[in-house]
């Protein structure tokens, strides 16, 4: 049995996601990018949007995890420290 098949057949350990179990290199890259919301968004967009031919995509469960992480990243970029959404019309670039 090849390594990918062994990984896919074992259950995640306590606290481990399917992303960590099946794609540890991606989980590591995401952990490194997480320090910057912009870097995390760039990586997540690259992972979630297929711009190369012949890609099989992620299993549905892993895709859902990535979408959840993307949603968390979006929220940390668009909500203030009090949990209030920062609406686009609230953004300003000096006095107009």
Q: Are 43 and 33 in contact (CB under 8 A)?
A: yes
So what's the pLDDT on residue 96? 42
**Has residue 21 been placed in a domain?**
yes
**Has residue 66 been placed in a domain?**
no
Residue 11 DSSP code: P
User: Total domain count for the chain?
Assistant: 1
**Has residue 36 been placed in a domain?**
yes
Q: Domain containing 37: what range?
A: 17-55
**Has residue 32 been placed in a domain?**
yes
- Give the pLDDT band of residue 89 (cuts 50, 70, 90): low
**Has residue 34 been placed in a domain?**
yes
**Has residue 12 been placed in a domain?**
no
pTM: 0.69
Interval 15-20 mean pLDDT: 89
For residue 36, give both structure tokens: 């910057």
Instruction: Note the pLDDT tens digit of each residue in 26-83.
Output: 999 999 999 998 999 999 999 998 777 777 789 999 999 999 999 888 888 887 778 7
**Has residue 47 been placed in a domain?**
yes
**Has residue 69 been placed in a domain?**
no
CB-count exposure of residue 43 (10 Å: 0-12, 13-18, 19+): buried
């Amino acid at each position: 049995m090849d390594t990918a098949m062994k990984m896919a057949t074992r259950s995640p350990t306590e606290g481990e996601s399917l992303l960590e179990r099946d794609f540890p290199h991606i989980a590591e890259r995401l952990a490194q990018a997480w320090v910057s919301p912009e870097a995390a968004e760039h990586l997540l967009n690259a992972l979630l949007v297929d711009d190369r031919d012949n890609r099989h995509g992620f299993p549905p469960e892993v895709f859902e995890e990535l979408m959840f992480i993307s949603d968390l990243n979006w929220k940390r970029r668009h909500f203030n420290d009090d949990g209030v959404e920062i609406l686009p019309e609230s953004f300003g670039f000096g006095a107009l």
